[in-house]
Amino acid sequence: MWEQIRSNQTRTLILVAAMGLLLLLLGYFLGEALFGSGIGGLVVAILIWVIMNLFAYFQGDSLILSISRARKISRDDHPRLYNIVEEMKIASGLEKVPDIYIIDDPSLNAFAVGRDPSRASVAITSGLLERLNRDELQGVMAHEISHIKNRDVLLMTFCSVLLGTIVLLAWFAARMMLFGGMRGGGSRRSSGGGGGYATLIIIAVAIVLLIVAPIAAQLIYYAISRRREYLADASGALYTRYPEGLASALEKIAGSTQELKTANKAFAPMYIINPFRDKGRAASDLTSTHPPVSERVRILRSMAGGASLAAYDKAYHEVSRSGKGVIPSSALVGAAAVAARKPEAAEAVPEKVERVRETSDLLWKYSDYGLVNCECGTKLRVPPKFRGDSIRCPHCGRTNTIPARRKSTG
Amino acid sequence: MSVGIIVLIVVLVVLFLFLGFIWMSYNGLVRLRNQVKNAWAQIDVQLKRRHDLIPNLVETVKGYAKYERETFEAVTNARNLAQKAVGTGVGSQAKAEGELSGALSRLLAVVEKYPDLKANTNYLALQEELTSTENKISFSRQHYNDSVLTYNNKTQMVPSNIIAGMFGFKTGEFFEVTVAAEKEVPKVSFT
C-alpha cells in the first residue's frame, strides 16, 4: 500500500512532466531566438538545472535549517516532543527517528526536510510547541512525517528547482532581449525570405514562452504542492488514528496572526501551513501552496469516525463536492476500514502554563543559560558569562552551587 | 525466416517473461515478509520497554500508597507472566500483554486517590514515559497489522499467490487484542 502511494501518483507525475517540458521548450526557443541554436539553449537550460539540483540535493536541508535558525534538540531536552516523533516514526514505519529541531519564534509553524527517510529532520517553532496539547502535537508531527514518508520533500525540492530554473532562464533572457538585441532581428536574415519568416515565428514563440512559462510553472508547482498537502493530511490521520488532533492543531495555527520571520518562499510547501498566507483568500485560489485551512479542517472532521485513506477520500468528496478524489485509487485497494481512536486523556499533558515554562526553559538552555533550582522553589537562571561556582538565591538567601554546564550545541 | 525460428523466439520470450514474473514476485514477497518480521521486532522492543518501566512505576507509587499491596502484586505478577510469554507466539503473547494492561490500569486508578503522588515530578516524568510507551505499543501493533495485511493480500491474490504457494510463503498472523480490558485501557487518566 505504501509503495503505491509513492509510485502511482499519476497526476503528480504528469504535472512534474509538464513542468519539465516547459523548461525544455523555453530552453529550445530561447536558444533559437538568442543565439540561433535551439540545442545550445537546451544544453544551457539543462546545465543550469543540473547544477541547481545538485546543490539542492546535497545542501538543501542544512541550508534551510540554518536559514530558519533551527536548533537540534535531544531526547532529554524535551521528552514529550521526542516521544511523539518516535511514536509517529513507529506508526509510519520509517527506519529512523528524524532529527528534531526547534525554531525560537512565537509564530505557529512546523516543517520537514531531508531528501530521503534515513536523513530527515522535522522542525517546529517554540510558539507552536507551547500552544499544542499532546494529540495536536501528534497530529502535526504525523503530517510532517507523512511528508518524509511520501517523499514529498524530495519531490517538492525537485519541483522548486525546476521552477527556479525556468524563472531564472526567463529573467536572463528577457534582459538579453531588451538590451542585447535579437539575433535575426530583421537585418541579418531578412534577405533569406522564408528564413526570416521562420525566425519571426521562433521569436514570437520565445517571447510568449518567456511570459507564460514562469507563470504556468508556478501554477503547476502550486497544484502539486496542494495535492501533497491533502495526502499528508490523510496519511497523518491514518498514522495517528485521530483526525481531530490535526484538525484542531490546524485551527489553532490558522488563528494566529504571527508571521514566521525566517520563512523561505522557495520552501513554503514543506511547512504545515503556508507561512505567506493572506487572510480571507478565496477558497479555490490557484496561487497557494496549501489548500485553504478551513477546508482541510472540514475534511478531517467529516471523516465520520474513520481514519483510513478511504475515509479521507470520501470526506474530501463531501466537502469539496468534486468528482475527483484526492487519494490515488491504487492506494485504496485492499485497505481495511480503520476506526479512529479516542482522544488522549487531558491530564497526560501538562497545562498550557507548564508547556510554556518547559519550552522557555529549553530555549534558555540553548542560549547557554544554566538553571539552578533553589530549595525554596525559585528557579535561578545563570547567564553564560557568569563566573563562579555558587549563586545566592535572592528570595531566601540560600547559597546554591552551580552544576557543571554542558557545552552548547550549534 | 522459417516458422521454427519464430516459434522458438516466441517460446523464449514467453519463458523470459515468466521467469521475470517469478523473480519479481518472489522478491516482492520476501521484502514484505521481512517487513512483517521487522514490524514484529518493533512491538517486542516496545513491550520490553514497558516491562522495564513497571518496576520503576510500582516503586514510585509504593512510596505514597502503602496500603494497595494487592494491586502492586497483581501488576508485578502480570508483568512477570508477560515477560515469560515473550517469544511464545503472537496469540499467547498478545493475551499476556492484555492481562498486564488490565492490571496496569487498576494501578493507575489507585493513583487517583493520592494527589501528592500526582504532583511528584518523578512520577510526572514516568507518566509521560508510560503514556508514550503505551502509544508506541499500539502504533507498532498498528504498523505490524498493516504490514501483515499487505503481505497476506500479496500471498493470497492472483497471480502472486502461485509463487507464494510454490515457495511456501505462509500468511502472517494479526496481533489481535484478546482481553476486553485492553481495549479501553491504555488511556492514562488521573482525575
Q: Does any domain span residue B146? A: yes
Is the model more confident about A264 or about A74?
A74
Is the model more confident about A336 or about B157?
B157
Give A338 to chain B, closest Cα distance, Å: 10
Q: Does any domain span residue B8? A: no
The per-residue pLDDT for A329 is 56
| Partner residue facing A342 (CB), from B143, B153, B187 | B187
The per-residue pLDDT for A200 is 81
Of B62, B42, B184, residue with least CA distance to B122: B62
Neighbouring CB atoms inside 10 A of A42's CB total 19
Considering chain A, what is the average pLDDT of its residues? 77
Query: What percentage of chain B reaches a pLDDT higher than 90?
Result: 7
pLDDT at A330 > cutoff 50 = yes
Q: Does any domain span residue B53? A: yes
Is the model more confident about A407 or about B84?
B84
What's the whole-number mean pLDDT along residues A76-96? 89
**Which residue is listed with cell 528547482?**
A161
Instruction: List the single range of A36-40, A336-340, B85-89 with lowest mean pLDDT.
Output: A336-340
Model confidence pLDDT, tens digit, residues A294-318 = 888 888 888 867 777 777 877 887 7
- Residue range of the domain that includes B110: 35-184
Considering chain B, what is the average pLDDT of its residues? 81
Query: What percentage of chain B reaches a pLDDT higher than 70?
Result: 92
Number of domains in chain B: 1
What's the whole-number mean pLDDT along residues B142-169? 84
Q: Does any domain span residue B17? A: no
Model confidence pLDDT, tens digit, residues A203-244 = 788 888 888 888 888 888 888 888 888 888 888 888 888 888
The per-residue pLDDT for A298 is 86
CATH of the domain at B77: 1.20.1440.20
The per-residue pLDDT for A325 is 63
Q: Does any domain span residue B23? A: no
Model confidence pLDDT, tens digit, residues B16-32 = 998 988 888 888 889 88
Residues of B in contact with A334 (CB under 8 A): 149-150, 153, 157
C-alpha grid cell, residue B53: 518501566
Q: Does any domain span residue B30? A: no
The per-residue pLDDT for A254 is 82
Rounded-to-integer distance, Cα A51 and Cα A161, Å: 10
What's the whole-number mean pLDDT along residues A129-150? 90
SS3 string of A278-343? Answer: CCCCCCCCCCCCCCCHHHHHHHHHCCCCECCHHHHHHHHHHHHCCCCCCCCHHHHCCCCCCECCCC
The per-residue pLDDT for A328 is 62
pLDDT at A5 > cutoff 60 = no
What's the whole-number mean pLDDT along residues A11-35? 83
The per-residue pLDDT for A375 is 75
The per-residue pLDDT for A191 is 42
Whether residues B187 and A1 touch (CB distance < 8 A) is answered with no
Helix A134-149 with A79-92: angle, nearest 10 deg: 50
Rounded-to-integer distance, Cα A96 and Cα A113, Å: 14
Residues of B in contact with A92 (CB under 8 A): 143
A261 alpha-carbon distance from chain centroid = 15
SS3 string of chain A? Answer: CHHHHHHCCHHHHHHHHHHHHHHHHHHHHHHHHHHCCHHHHHHHHHHHHHHHHHHHHHHHHHHHHHHCCEEEECCCCCHHHHHHHHHHHHHHCCCCCCEEEEECCCCCCEEEECCCHHHCEEEEEHHHHHHCCHHHHHHHHHHHHHHHHCCHHHHHHHHHHHHHHHHHHHHHHHHHHHHHCCCCCCCCCHHHCHHHHHHHHHHHHHHHHHHHHHHHHHHHHHHHHHHHHHHHHHHHHHHHCCHHHHHHHHHHHHHCCCCCCCCCHHHHHHECCCCCCCCCCCCCCCCCCCCCHHHHHHHHHCCCCECCHHHHHHHHHHHHCCCCCCCCHHHHCCCCCCECCCCCCHHHCCCHHHHHHHHHHHHHHHCCCEEEECCCCCEEEECCCCCCCEEECCCCCCEEECCCCCCCCC
Q: Which amino acid, B186?
A: P
pLDDT at B185 > cutoff 60 = no
Residues of A with CB under 8 A from a CB of B: 1-2, 79-80, 83-84, 86-88, 90-93, 134, 239, 241, 334-336, 342, 344-345, 347-348, 350
Rounded-to-integer distance, Cα A387 and Cα A392, Å: 13
The per-residue pLDDT for A144 is 93
pLDDT at A165 > cutoff 60 = yes
Whether residues A80 and B42 touch (CB distance < 8 A) is answered with no
Q: Residues in chain A, how many?
A: 410
Q: Which amino acid, A272?
A: I
Q: Would you place residue A99 in the very low, low, confident or very high pLDDT band (cuts 50, 70, 90)?
A: very high
Model confidence pLDDT, tens digit, residues A356-379 = 777 777 777 777 777 777 777 777
Model confidence pLDDT, tens digit, residues B103-148 = 888 888 888 788 877 777 778 888 888 888 888 888 888 888 888 8
Whether residues B131 and A348 touch (CB distance < 8 A) is answered with yes
pLDDT at B89 > cutoff 50 = yes
Task: Give yes or no for a contact between A246 and A293, defined as CB atoms under 8 angstroms apart.
Answer: no
Query: What percentage of chain A reaches a pLDDT higher than 90?
Result: 8
Most confident of A279-283, A314-318, B19-23, B59-63: B19-23
pLDDT at A139 > cutoff 90 = yes
Query: What percentage of chain A reaches a pLDDT higher than 70?
Result: 78
Rounded-to-integer distance, Cα B5 and Cα B1, Å: 7
Instruction: List the single range of A51-55, A356-360, B39-43, B96-100 with lowest mean pLDDT.
Output: A356-360
Residues of A in contact with B35 (CB under 8 A): 93
pLDDT at A350 > cutoff 70 = no
Q: Does any domain span residue B175? A: yes
pLDDT at A100 > cutoff 80 = yes
List CB contacts of A278: < 8 A, sequence separation 6 or more. none
| Partner residue facing B143 (CB), from A93, A342, A350 | A93
The per-residue pLDDT for A43 is 87
C-alpha grid cell, residue A32: 533559437
The per-residue pLDDT for A89 is 92
Active site residues of A: 144
